[in-house]
Amino acid sequence: MRLTTKGRFAVTAMIDIGLRQRLGPVNLAAISQRQQISLSYLEQLFGKLRKHNLVVSVRGPGGGYHLARHSADISVADIIAAVDERGALGTDADDANDLGEQGASPTSLSRSTEELWASLNQRMLDFLRTVTLQKLVEDQVAKGVELEAPTPAKRAITSAAPSSLCAPAPPNSVFALANAMSKH
């Protein structure tokens, strides 16, 4: 098992979304600023998270990301596996290939240490499957993480304002101006 910075950043960003998704879609630029993670790096990670159906993107003003399923149904193992293309939750075959590339021949000592690492890898994987995103979010709430007020979504410009707030339209020609002046 390889616990990488990529996996750590992905878990951190997913916790950020889990904390804030009830306020609406969470913007990557805001996550980048809060968590001090490069925006371009987050975009790469979220492409992979979206591909693995962990997040859904919302386009347009007020857009961003929200979880694709309930936080209790997303494990840390799911997140790490989604962002690591080599297989952070790798198999023993990955490790055997690494040994073969180095030209090491298997000895009884290397076989016993391989068994140790395979067992440790399996235990870490089993543990990470039990840690849910919901648990991590609840831990942050229990620690008193304060959420900032959401910024209001940008509104579209409408073609007509409500009539009760409109001032009379100014005359659009000299003739209309003369006509308006003659009425006063």
What are the structural domains of the chain? 5-90+129-142 (1.10.10.10)
Judge whether residue 53 has pLDDT over 60.
yes
Q: Tally the residues of the chain.
A: 184
pLDDT given for residue 13 in this prediction? 96
What region, left, alpha or beta, does residue 48 occupy, with left being phi > 0 and alpha being psi -120 to 50 degrees? alpha
pLDDT given for residue 170 in this prediction? 65
pTM to 2 decimal places: 0.69
Residue 113: burial class (beta carbons within 10 Å; 0-12, 13-18, 19+): exposed
pLDDT given for residue 96 in this prediction? 47
Non-local (6+) Cβ contacts of 80 within 8 A are 3, 4, 7, 10, 11, 88, 89, 128
pLDDT given for residue 173 in this prediction? 66
The mean pLDDT of 125-149, rounded to a whole number, is 90
Non-local (6+) Cβ contacts of 57 within 8 A are 25, 46, 50, 63, 64, 65
Judge whether residue 15 has pLDDT over 70.
yes
pLDDT given for residue 172 in this prediction? 66
Judge whether residue 92 has pLDDT over 50.
no
